[in-house]
Structure 1
């Protein structure tokens, strides 16, 4: 799993302690992390925002956590993740889980890879102690270590 997280979540995909005015800007930051790592083109960021505009804030999957993604498309160059920790949480419109302080961007080249990466992240984030540690982690390496359990 370590190699997988290193591959899917390289240092260039992290944006820690960032400021966002609203959920759209938070998703744009997640898209920036995906683009920085060569996982997607700018078009994928627009697709992620359009998905929320169309489907609502279903991407807010746990208190304070949004999993920004869209369907596999030509804008996805490689399967990968971005990790955006916001300095101030922003509302996404999900009454149960707002406001959001962690936005994970997910780009999957195909449904299978998309689900594999989602499953690995969900497993890592289901540990309450790990979630608390992630808020305090200062470097990409420290975050990957926590995610690897």
Structure 2
């Protein structure tokens, strides 16, 4: 399982729209070789077909697709946007933190969501993630964030 490791995090990114942000979060997963390239397309297609259902809290989106769409290893990426963008969610837009999620089973999906929930359940952590300037800042928040 790879969870927000250095190669899976991009700080201060720019995206033209929600689909671009989803693709960038997916590319982080593909570059880490935890998903196949087709998984990125499946993430975008899921958004096109189902809308912004994965915008789960203010500023936070967790796009994903099905395990059979090309997941090789459970992983989570983070695309932190310099400027938030609209995903079309009535109450949680705009989004600044896009966590790309790839799980090869329901059990892994739940495990990854539990880890993310521990981190994102505290508004202070979310605000610090939004303001982070470097991967080291993100790493510190992750290391201390689950125990605050």
Pairwise same-fold verdict (TM > 0.5): yes
Distance 1:23 1:97 in 2: 13
* Equivalent position to 1:94, from 68, 72, 89: 89
* 76 and 89 in structure 1: CA distance in 2 versus 1, 3 angstrom threshold: same
Distance 1:141 1:17 in 2: 13
Indicate the residue corresponding to 2:51 in structure 1: 56
The alignment status of 1:14 with 2:9, answered yes or no, reads: yes
Distance 2:92 2:69 in 1: 31
Indicate the residue corresponding to 1:34 in structure 2: 29
The alignment status of 1:65 with 2:60, answered yes or no, reads: yes
Please provide the CA RMSD for this pair: 1.4
Contact 1:15–1:29, Cα closer than 8 Å, also in 2 = no
Contact 2:12–2:133, Cα closer than 8 Å, also in 1 = no
Q: Segments of 4+ in structure 1 off by > 6 A? A: none
Paired residue secondary structure (2:78): strand
- Range 73-82 or range 21-30, more displaced: 73-82
Distance 1:61 1:8 in 2: 19
Indicate the residue corresponding to 1:110 in structure 2: 105
The alignment covers a number of residue pairs equal to 144
Distance 1:103 1:35 in 2: 15
TM-score with structure 1 setting the length: 0.90
